[in-house]
Amino acid sequence: MDHILNADIFDYILGGCSKSSLLNVSLVSSHLRLFAMPHLLRTVSLDRNPEQIIGFLEFIINNSHRNIDNEIIDPGRYVLAFEIPCHSTAVGIQDDDDHYHFVPAIPGPYTISAWAHLLTLRSLVIQAEIESICLHFPDFAATLLARPQLTDIDLWWIGSGSTASNLFGQVMHMKAGTIRLRKVKYYVEGGINKLALHKGEGFGSVLFCFQKIPGRG
């Protein structure tokens, strides 16, 4: 009983620590790393470069079945909010008409096996070309929307008449009754008129999903 009480108090203290302090604690021992990990990973924003994203998702995969002190680490279960800003996934290019475009640097970070481990994910922001991700990984939409606690998504560059839109629509038709989305934001290159949004079709199915789930307003 004393051990449980002490662990609870220590966990409470860690909850008030800064990220830098939590990092220092996690370096002391593997046991302390287990205590710090839920607080470190609760909100993740990868804003440096594609290599940082790859490194983080590899960390999720490589530790999904790792055992420390008779406890499976599985760090993906601690990630509640995940944000990938556009400048960390792409390079900006200005065309002849002075329009500024972001071109995906690499599609590699979006491997399905890593996303499948984010079981408690509630909020996701991806400011990258979703169309490119879905072209390289057709299962991305299904894996993302299958996160059982996901309620908020903010996706960029869905694309007009796109593969991404169609894939998201297919998932909604198959699993509309189990998807818990409450807030959907999206960005369409070229403006909203470039993406046909019809109830029951493509990405429009995601926007109208709230009317299909019992108990939603």
Q: Supply the pLDDT for residue 18.
A: 82
**C-beta neighbour count of 158 within 10 angstroms:** 24
How is residue 12 written in tokens?
A: 């409470």
Percent of the chain with pLDDT over 90: 14
Does residue 7 come out as left (phi exceeding 0), alpha (psi in the -120 to 50 range) or beta? Answer: alpha
Residue 104 has pLDDT above 80, yes or no: no
Residue 198 has pLDDT above 50, yes or no: yes
Using CA atoms in the order 72, 77, 78, 81, what is the torsion angle rounded to 10 degrees?
A: 160
User: Which of 94, 96, 60 shows the shortest CA–CA distance to 79?
Assistant: 60
Residue 132 has pLDDT above 50, yes or no: yes
Residue whose token pair is 């990258």: 128
pLDDT in tens, 116-131: 899 999 999 988 778 8
pLDDT band at 153 (very low <50, low <70, confident <90, very high): very high
Residue whose token pair is 């990220």: 19
Compare 30 and 83 and report the one with higher pLDDT: 83
CA distance 93 to 90: 10
Residue 143 · residue 112 · CB < 8 Å: yes
User: Which of 180, 202, 79 shows the shortest CA–CA distance to 130?
Assistant: 202
| Residues contacting residue 210 through CB under 8 Å, at least 6 positions apart | 181, 182, 216, 217
Q: Supply the pLDDT for residue 1.
A: 43
User: Which of 212, 184, 51, 203 shows the shortest CA–CA distance to 134?
Assistant: 203
How is residue 43 written in tokens?
A: 């909100």
